[in-house]
Structure formats: structure tokens, C-alpha cells
Structure 1
Amino acid sequence: MRESWRWYGEFDRITLPEVAQTGATGIVNALHEIPYGEVWPRQAIAARRDAIIRAGFDWVVVESLPIHERIKRGAGDLSALFANYRQSMANLAAEGITTICYNFMPLLDWTRTDLAAPVARGGTCLRFSAPRMAAFELHMLGRAAAEADYPPGVLAEAAVWFQQATEADRDGLLHAIMSGLPGAYDRYDIPALRAALADYEGIGQGELRSHYKRFLDEVIPAAEDLGMRFCVHPDDPPRDILGLPRIVSDAEDIAWIMAAVDSPANGLTLCAGSLGANPANDVPAIARAHAARIHFAHLRNVRKDPDGSFEEAAHLAGDTDMVALIGVLLAEEARRRAEGRADADIPFRPDHGHELLDDAARGTHPGYPLIGRLRGLAELRGVIAALSHPGVTPGGFAA
């Protein structure tokens, strides 16, 4: 497996020389400065790739080439947006970058209510609190229909939190919910978020799936021609929020996507944390079912609560069996090598680490500290080394 690291370019407080000390050799990057829907110029791609190479890395995955909200809504004449997207793909391929991670989540990417929840024995983590999300939807956003989305106990806790919350608490909650949009130009206040949600009125799961299918039909043939691999990132959290449908949340969703355009170019980013936040998901089983179409992996773990809340756990300490999952990925790599494929290695990155020691002083992107991710990478590296030992079969069992 190819050890990689997400780096935010000029927006990142962590430098490439520091990343080099983690041992990772691949960089996961995007041109976050370019507004959604515009073409990524070939010169800008080449300049970023060359900077990455000069620092001793390869640019192994684009995360993400964002999809304009109008495409997700199916709104108006989309021909120019699709043409721009395909041109960006062609420019990336021309500079040797051929794997694109993306998502199809309406309005927001990953969503959390707490950016610095305390962790036992010190440090902080990202957390999604169902009561706080309910408080935001019902009492701050004023979305009355949200009452049907939460159990009575969560609604009661939400009301108590809102009554006791200060203005600073409420501002902090809005900030946390908006923080999952790295590089995005849209940062909503409450009135702007209400207006953005109104644009999605009448769009349910069926309509969003139809728009997603159109996107795949527009870009996957181009990806095949360019020798590219697309890999969709699961919803985070894997549930409807803000009244918006989510369509990449469970095993059935992923099976639908893989069948919608049955091509090796239409693949999956196996995000253990996003899928693991849904109690119905058996993450190793999902990986096993779609192993041949996994082009990228986000390895992190979550610890779930019965009320629908969850928080980022240490990489080997959450609810997902990370050892079993890595065993599935290593077995798939072995299968690819047996076929003689030169691209057998699956790039992965340690995702959403805890803020540890002096991480908090750096002010990095939420969920992307240096020391916390380094700890995660070291733990994952140990599992990979153990399962790759000559005395262990590719599936992770002693020979």
C-alpha cells in the first residue's frame, strides 16, 4: 500500500519537509484556490506537481476535483460545467495525475458539531453530536421538519443545549458545521444557508441519484479515454442532514453506484470512518464486495453512540476492525499483482487524527494535525507490516 498524506498546498500550516519526516511518499492534493466549476489550468497543475516532486514526493491522488452545486441540483444548462470538468480532467491526465477522489454531497462535505472534543488522557478530536446537530437544525436554522429526523431523547437534549447556549456557543456550532469545506468559496451564515437549502427544495434521493447518474455518464467515458480512475467518497456523516438527501451512505448505495456505470474507471474511495459511522455498515465486507474498484483508501476509525452521535477514535481503537479491513486491501493488491498490473498498490492516507501535544498551536485544518496523523500512520504502518510478513497470508491469517 502506498503511504500518502493530504496536503493543502499554500493553505497548509504543515510544510512538505515536515511531511517528509512522516515517511509518507505520496501527496494527496487539490488546487483549492480555483472556484468550483472553473477549469484547472494545465500550467497550474504542472507547477503544483513540480513543487511536490521537488520536495521528494509524487502527487498520487487529486482530492478533490469539486462538482458544482448546479450539477448536483441538475439546474439549468450544464453543458459548460461538464465541458470545464472534462477539460480539467484532461489537463490533469496530461501532467500524469490520473486518480481523482470526489464526493456528491449536497452543499456540505464532512460535517461535525465539535472540532475539539476532549479525548481521554489528553488531546482533542472531531465529534458529531446528534443533539447539537438537532439544536442547529431546529432552533438556529428553524427547519421544523427536522423534528422527524431525530428520536425524542435527542430532541429533548437539543432543546436543553440551545436554552443554555451562549451566543459564542451558537457561533461556534455554526463554525464547526461550516468547517468541512476546505478551499470552498461558500461559507454560509444562517440566512445564506437557508437560501442555499431552498435551492434543493423538491430534490429527494431519486432526483439526486438521477443527477449523479448524469454526472457519471458525462465524465466516466472521458476518464476511460484518459486512463483515469474516479473514486467517490462516501457521505460524512452517512445520513441525511439539513433535509438534504445523501446517496453514498451504505452498502446498497455503493452497489447502485458501481452498477450505474459498470466501468473500472467508476470506483470507490474506501473511507473507513465515513462508512463506519453508520451502524448498519460492515466496512470490511463492503471493501471485500468492491475491492476491485477501490482506487484510494482513507483509513480512520470512529466510536459511535446509541443516539447517532460519533467521534473520531484512534486509528486502531474504534468500532471498525481496521486489521480486517487492511487485510482485505492487501489481498486485493496481491490479486492485482498476480494479474501483472503495474498499478497494484492502493494509495491510502491516515485520516482525521487527534490533535495531540502541540498540534493545537499550529492552527491546521480541522482533523488534519501533524502529530495526530503521524501517530495514525505509524499504527497503520505497523498493521500493514505485520500482515505483509512472509508468514501471513494476504488475507491476514497465519500461514
Structure 2
Amino acid sequence: MIETWRWYGEFDPITLAEVAQTGAAGIVSALHAIPYGEVWPPEAITARKRSIEEAGFVWSVVESLPVHERIKKGEGDLSALFANYRQSMANLAEQGVQTICYNFMPLLDWTRTDLAAPVAGGATCLRFEATHMAAFEIHMLGRQAAEDDYSDEVRVRAAAWYQQATEADRDSLLKSIMAGMPGAFDRYDIPGLRTALAAYDGIDRNDLRANYARFLAEVVPAAEDLGLRLCVHPDDPPRDILGLPRIVSTGDDLEWVLATQDSPANGVTLCSGSLGAHPGNDVPSIAARVADRIHFAHLRNVRKEPDGSFEEAAHLDGDTDMVMLLRVLLREEARRRTEGRADHVIPFRPDHGHHMLTDHDRDFVPGYPLIGRLRGLAELRGVIRGIGHV
């Protein structure tokens, strides 16, 4: 497996010189300053690739080439947006970047309610607290039908939290939920979020699936022609949120994606943290089901709670058997080598990490500190080497 490190370019306080000390060989990056839907210019791709290679790395994976919200909503004439997406793919292929991660989550990317929840020893982690999410949806956003998404116990706790919360508490919750990704994307205040959600009124799971199938039909054949591998990232969290359907949350969902365009170019980013937050998901089992189409892996762990809350655990702790998952991925690599596949090596990155030690002294992208991810990479590296000697 190829060790990689996510780097946010001009938005990242971590330098490539620092990344070099982690031992990672590849960089996972994107052009975050370019608004969604616009073509990634060849000169911008060339400049990003040059900066990565001059630091001694390869640009292993693009994460992400965003899908415009109009495509997700199936809104109006989409021909220009599809053409722009294909052109960006072609421009990346021209520079030798072959793997593109993306997601099809409506409106919001990954969602947490706390960006600095305390963990043992003084570190902090990302957390999704069901009580706080319910308070946000029911009392701050005032979303109709939100109460139906939460248990009586959670609703009672949410009401109590909202009644005693200060304005600063509520602002912090909104900021956490809107944290998303850095770069050219929208952050909403409450009225703005209500307006954005209204644009999805009437779009259910079947509608979103149809819009996704249309997207795949438009881009997968082009990926085949260009020699690219597309790999969808699962929903995070893997559940409907803010009344929006999520359609890439389970093993069945992933198999639907792969069957919709049955091509090696249409693959999966196996994210153990996103899939692991679903109470019904057995992540190593899901990985085995879709193994031949895993083009990229995000390795992290979560610890779930009965009410739907979860927080990010250390990479080898939590609810997912990381050793078993790595065995699945390494077996798949061996199978590909036996078949003589050129893409037999799977790039992976230590996904997220606890903010710990000197991480607290710097302003990192939430979930992407230096020391916490270095710890995760070291632990995963050790497991991989150990499995290789068994």
C-alpha cells in the first residue's frame, strides 16, 4: 500500500517539508480555490503538481473534484457542468494524475457538531453529538419533521440544551456544522441554510439516485477513455441529515453505485470512518464485497453510541477491526498482483486524527493536525508491516 498524506495547498498550515518527515510517499490534494463547476485550468494543475514533486512526492490522488449542487439536484440544463467536469478530468489526466476522489453528498460535506471534543490524556477529536444535532435542527433551524428523526430521549435532551445554551454556544454549534472543507465553497448562516435546503424540497432518495446515475453516465465513459479511476467517498455521517437523503452509506449502496456503471473506472474510496459510523455496517465485510473496485482508502476509526452519536477514536481503537480491514486490503493487492494489474497498489492515508501535543498550538484544518495524523500513520504502518511478516 502507498502511504499518502492529505495536503490542502495554500489553505494548509502544514508545509510539504513537514509532511516529508512523516515518511509518506504520496500527496492527496485538490485545487480548493476554484469554485465548484468551473474547469480546473492546466496551468493550475501543473503548478500544484510541480510543488508536490519538487518536495519529493507524487500527486497520488485528487481529493476532491467537487460535483456541483445543480448536478445533485438535477436542476436545469447541466450540459455545461458535465462538460466542465470532463475537461477537468482530461486536464488532470494530461498531467498523469489518475485517481479522482469525489462525493455525492447533498449540500454539506462531512458534518460534526464538535470540532474539539476532549479525549483521554488531553487530546481532542471530532464528534457528532445527536443531542446537539437535534437541537440545531429542531430549535435553531426550525426544520419541519426534524423531530421525527430523533428519539424521545434525544429530543428532551436537545430541548434542555437549547434552553440553557448561550448565543456563543449556538454560534459554535453552527460553525462546527458548517466547517466542511476549506477553499471555494459556501458556508451558511441560519437563513441561508434554510434557503439552500428549500432548493432540495421534493428530492427524495430515488430522485437523488437518478441524478447520481446521470452523473455517472456522463463521466465514467470519459474516465475510461482517459485511463482515470473515479472513486466515490461514502456519506459522512452515513445517515440522512437536515432532511436531505444520503445514498452512499452502506455496502448495498456501494454495490448499487458500481453496478450503475459497471466499469473499472467507476470505483470506491473505502473510508472506514464514514462507513464505520453506521450501526449496521461491518466495514471489513463491506471492503471484501467491493474489493476489486477500491481505488483509494481512508483509514480511521470511530466509537459509536446507542443514540446515534459517535466520535473519532484512535486509528487502532474504536468499533472497526482495523487489522482485519487491512488484511482485506492487502489480500486484494496480492490478488491484483497475481492478475498482473497495473493498479495493484492501493493508496491510503491516515484519515483525520486527534489534535494532540503541539497540535494545540497551531490552527489546523479541523481533523487534519500534524502530530495526530502522524501517530495514526505510524500505527497503520506498523500493522501493515506486521501482517506482511505473518
Does the alignment reach a TM-score above 0.5?
A: yes
Matches of residues 334-349 of structure 1 in structure 2 within 5 Å?
Answer: 334-349=334-349
The answer as to whether partners of 1:352 and 1:367 remain within 8 angstroms in 2 is yes
* Structure 1 residue 39, shift from structure 2 partner: 0.2
Give the letter aligned to residue 222 of structure 1. A
Mean Cα deviation higher: 68-77 or 354-363:
354-363
Number of residue pairs the alignment of both structures matches: 390
Over residues 320-366 of structure 1, what are the superposed CA-to-partner deviations in whole Å (9 max), with x where a residue is unaligned? 00000000000000011111123211000001100001102210100
* Cα deviation, residue 252, structure 1: 1.3
1:395 is matched with none
Partners of 1:18 and 1:230 lie apart in 2 by 29
Contact kept? 2:251, 2:289, Cα under 8 Å: no
The TM-score with structure 1 as length reference comes to 0.97
User: 1:142-221 maps to which residues of 2 (within 5 A)?
Assistant: 142-221=142-221
Structure 1 letter corresponding to 2:7:
W
CA–CA separation in structure 1 for the residues paired with 2:239 and 2:181: 18
Q: Which amino acid aligns with 1:114?
A: D
Q: Secondary structure at the match of 1:59?
A: strand
CA separation in 1, counterparts of 2:185 and 2:311? Answer: 27
Could you report, residue by residue, the CA deviation over 1:23-67 in whole angstroms, capped at 9, with x for unpaired residues? 001000000000000000011101100110000000000000000
Question: Does 2:264 match 1:268?
Answer: no
What do the CA deviations read for 1:80-109 (whole angstroms, capped 9, x no partner)? 000000000000000000100000000101
Measure the CA separation in 1 of the matches of 2:193 and 2:119.
31
In 2: Cα distance, 1:270 partner to 1:362 partner: 29
> What's the offset of the Cα at 1:388?
1.0
Give the match for residue 111 of structure 1. Answer: 111
The 8 Å contact of residues 108 and 181 in structure 1, kept in 2 or not, is answered as: no
**Equivalence for 1:290:** 290
**Offset, 1:183:** 1.7
How far apart in 2 are the matches of 1:96 and 1:29?
14
In the alignment, what sits opposite 2:135? 135
CA distance in 2, matches of 1:244, 1:83: 27
Partner of 1:259: 259
Moved over 6 A (4+): none
Give me the whole-angstrom Cα distance separating, in 2, the residues matched to 1:249 and 1:300.
Answer: 16
Partners in 2 of 1:47 and 1:382 — Cα distance? 34
1:26–1:57 Cα contact (<8 Å) kept: yes
Q: Where do 1:64-83 residues align within 5 Å?
A: 64-83=64-83
* Contact map agreement 2:303 2:319 (CA 8 A) in 1: yes
Alignment pair present for 1:311 and 2:305: no
Q: Deviations over 1:193-220 (max 9, x none)?
A: 0000000000000000000000000000
| Equivalent in the alignment of 1:246 | 246
Aligned residue for 1:126? 126
Shift of 1:144: 2.6
Determine the C-alpha separation between the residues in 1 that align with 2:257 and 2:340: 27
Length-normalised TM-score, structure 2: 0.99
Secondary structure of the corresponding residue to residue 358 of structure 1? helix
Task: Tell me if the contact between 2:235 and 2:248 (Cα under 8 Å) persists in the aligned partners.
Answer: yes
- 2:57: which partner in 1? 57
**Cα distance between partner residues in 2 of 1:382 and 1:181:** 30
Distance 1:157 1:26 in 2: 45
Structure 1: gaps spanning 5 or more residues? 393-399
- The gaps in structure 2 that reach 5 residues or longer are none
Write the deviation string for residues 251-272 of structure 1: whole angstroms up to 9, x where unpaired.
Answer: 1111111111111111000000
Q: Tell me the distance in 2 between the aligned counterparts of 1:257 and 1:186.
A: 27
Asked whether 1:325 is paired with 2:340, we answer no
Q: Give the C-alpha shift of residue 174 in structure 1.
A: 0.3
* 1:185 shift after superposition: 2.4
Structure 1 residue 189: deviation in Å? 0.4
2: CA distance, partners of 1:268 / 1:27: 18
Answer yes or no: is the 8 Å Cα contact 1:299–1:348 preserved in 2. Answer: yes
Q: Give 3-state SS (helix, strand or coil) of 1:185's partner.
A: coil
